[in-house]
Chain A
Amino acid sequence: MSITPVPPGWWKMPLHKEEKWWISIALVWCIAITIAMPAWHFVGKQNSSQEYYTISTEDYNTLAEEFMEKYKTGVETAGDWEWDVVTPPPGSDIYLRSMQWKWDPILKLKKGETYRLHLSSIDVLHGLSIHPLNMNFEAVPGWDYVLTITPTQAKEYRIICNEFCGADHHGMIGKIIVE
């Protein structure tokens, strides 16, 4: 009975054959998935980035604004919102600034080219969700998270904020255009 005290000797009870088999199979499976996670860093193409730096929100904001000014190629509006459209050269460092409740700027990227995306926030936490790819990364104030990305499909992506950030969290939707 599992609700009554157990008389001495229970530690010496041998395991049944079925139990031994089950625990062995489970252990082997656990070891396999334990190996799989680090192994994918060597054989897989898609892993989360290991490059990040601490940065003050002010410094990050300055860098992002310089970037937007330098490569600005247009303006786009939707509803009450307005964005700069920015077309950076392939291979460059690009910035995606998150703030309550906006992703800045609209990035225009080239298919097959690689960029270094600097992701951060200048106020609270935000979540980068690239839709419809459903790839998700955290945008954290005080941290410059560098994601090396190579767009493989020419289309318009949405960026949905998926970390709760206040009253208009659900309205925080940006755009990446891949040509």
Chain B
Amino acid sequence: MSNFRTCSITGLKVHLPAEKLIKINAVTAIVFLLVGGILGLLLVLTRWQAVHILPPEFFYRFLTLHGIAMLVAWIIFWEMAALYLTSAILLNSRLAVPWVGWLQYLLMLVGGGMVAVIILLGGADVMFTSYVPLKAHPLYYLGVILFAVGAILGCVVFFATLVVAKTEGTYSGSLPLVTYGAAAAAIIAIITLSHGAIVFIPTLLWSAGLIPPMDAEVYRLIFWGFGHSSQQINVCTMVAVWYMLGTLTVGSTPVNEKVCRTAFVLYILFINIASEHHILVDPGFSAAHKSWNTSYFMHLAVLASMIHAFSVPAALEVALRKKGYTRGTFEWLKKAPWGNPGFSSLFLSLVGFGFLGGTTGVIFGTEQLNILSHNNLRIPGHFHATVVAGTTLAFMGATYYVLPLIFQREVAFPGLAKIQPYLFGIPIMLFSTFMMVAGGFGVSRRSADMYGSGGFSVEYSPIVDISLSIMGISGVVACLGGAAFCVISVATLIIGKKIVAK
């Protein structure tokens, strides 16, 4: 068994090929986070109307790449690392077919790189959504397809590893909750990435001039089966990471396994069709169709989130009370390890996702209220709360544990790491909130200049100026917080003290 090492901290058997794949996926994720973050800084300094630095051409180009680099590349590369971690490492198993894992990495890297280059060369100023009949260079669509196929292969390796672990008897009992959550994420990933591949194949052929364009509404319907459902991969992985961080930081145990696991099943069953809330103000679908799919289905997925919203903090409270912090109602919260970046990330992610992202998602996804929110700044405000304050922050927190456990190095600049989650989490919540406020006054999303370009001028409520300024300042601070994370991670890899196995 020369292919394994024993972790000096956890005692887990670490399969070296799995470890290599985790490392390379995690590092690539952070590189994309850095690229997306630099673009994010330029974008926020443009939407902050008083500063407004980018000309329209570059604003649209960078916005397209920002979406791809963050929403797709950073998050999915990190999730691939998480899938290998929660399968091979947590189950003490070998990773099944590591070469398929490398194929996953290669396809995603080539696909993601291709998309990034085409966008920067100006061949795909079409935004993350690339709605037909707005056309990009064929290589853009090909890049997305390669990326999606690569990610599907990652899920295949994950499931194959679960089978290997079961048949080789590397663990007894049921899967750990975190692995179970990752499995739910992988199931959703296969469904949603298939939607992506299905919708981009005819789009690629059309872009290459081989077939006529598909109906714009059909594209929107299938695209959102990919575009929004893929965000549910993030939700699922994030919730799994919440449970993992709870255990790693304060030693929490799920209050009730049955409830937590049922909630994950609710995600799988109901979240995909709920993506139809993107077409609430579109022609082509009856009100009955829209209501059915976005109310009944979406609210059962919301129920799952409500269950986690109870279980995760409840598990933390129980664990902290067991440590003796039992005075009053809130001593456990006061005495929680706020200096541990893993814990503060977990907590801020929970607050940001739950109170800002989740609630606004349900509100804006209501048919009649969507009329007032569709495509204005309320929407990016909502998803920066879910995907950035929620998912990204949770992943950052988990990275502080992946660094010592997988990279076997002590986290560099521990003082900076201590405050990094606050430096990133709090401003990003302000950013989201004030984006939504501006959206409520009719400021459009994806606009290089909300005052137009020389035709009719537009007047806004004075609240808009203030909101966009707060959004701008907090956005810049959040970029600093993100940069701090990248600096800490990279420095750890280069100068972090090696943890020597005893």
Contacts and interface: CB of A to CB of B under 8 A. Distances in A.
Contact of A124 (B133, B299, B376, B441): B133
Given A5-B172, A6-B177, A37-B367, A136 B374 contact: yes
Given A33-B299, A134-B440, A23 B307 contact: yes
- The SS class assigned to the B binding surface is loop
Given A134-B441, A138-B281, A33 B456 contact: no
Query: Lowest 8 CB-CB distances: which A-B pairs, in order?
Result: A171-B453, A52-B283, A79-B454, A145-B283, A26-B306, A134-B442, A2-B243, A136-B374
Interface in B314-372: 314-315, 362, 366-368, 370-372
Interface stretch (B18-26, B76-84, B189-197, B288-296): B288-296
Contact of A1 (B176, B307, B452): B176
Contacts of A38: 287-288, 291, 295
Contacts of A117: none
A10 B456 contact: no
8 contacts: A2-B315, A4-B176, A78-B454, A78-B456, A127-B444, A162-B446, A169-B447, A170-B450
A168 interface: yes
B445 to A, nearest CB: 7
B449 interface: yes
A39 to B, nearest CB: 10
B437 interface: no
Give the one of A2, A30, A173 with max B CB within 10 A: A2
Interface string A114-131: 000000000111010101
Contacts, number: 255
B455 A2 contact: no
Contact of A160 (B243, B307, B314, B442): B442
B258 to A, nearest CB: 5
Contacts of B376: 129, 134, 136, 162
B39 to A, nearest CB: 16
B177 A2 contact: yes
A176 B196 CA distance: 39
Contact of A47 (B126, B246, B251, B287): B287
B283 A40 contact: no
Contacts of A165: 134
B168 interface: no
Contacts of B121: none
Given A2-B247, A6-B174, A30-B299, A140 B455 contact: no
B303 A30 contact: yes
B56 interface: yes
B173 interface: yes
Given A10-B257, A50-B287, A140-B282, A162 B441 contact: no
B281 A170 contact: no
Interface residues of A, number: 75
Contact of A170 (B90, B315, B368, B448): B448
Give the one of B131, B280, B373, B453 with max A CB within 10 A: B453
B216 to A, nearest CB: 5
Nearest to A119: B283
Interface string B456-489: 1111110000000000000000000000000000
A141 B284 CA distance: 11
A121 to B, nearest CB: 8
A142 B216 contact: yes
- The SS class assigned to the A binding surface is mixed
Contacts of A62: none
A48 to B, nearest CB: 5
Contact of B259 (A15, A40, A145): A15
A74 interface: no
Contact of A134 (B134, B171, B372): B372
Interface in A121-179: 123-125, 127, 129, 131-138, 140-145, 158, 160-171, 173-175
Contact of A48 (B133, B281, B446): B281
A131 to B, nearest CB: 5
Interface in B188-245: 215-217, 220, 243-244
B176 to A, nearest CB: 5
Given A34-B295, A127-B374, A160-B444, 15 more contacts: A2-B246, A8-B174, A10-B258, A19-B259, A33-B299, A50-B286, A78-B455, A136-B371, A136-B374, A138-B282, A138-B374, A141-B133, A143-B217, A164-B129, A170-B450
Nearest to A128: B281
B174 A136 contact: no
Contacts of B287: 38, 41, 47-48, 50
A145 B279 CA distance: 13
B217 A2 contact: no
Contacts of A37: 291, 294-295, 366-368
B339 to A, nearest CB: 22
Nearest to B59: A170
Nearest to B242: A2
Interface in B246-268: 246-248, 251-259
B157 interface: no
Nearest to A35: B295
Interface string B368-411: 10111111100000000000000000000000000000000000
A170 to B, nearest CB: 4
B292 to A, nearest CB: 8
A132 B174 CA distance: 56
Nearest to A53: B283
A80 interface: yes
Nearest to B449: A170
Given A2-B252, A19-B259, A138-B283, A160 B458 contact: yes
A173 B455 contact: yes
Given A33-B362, A41-B287, A5 B174 contact: yes
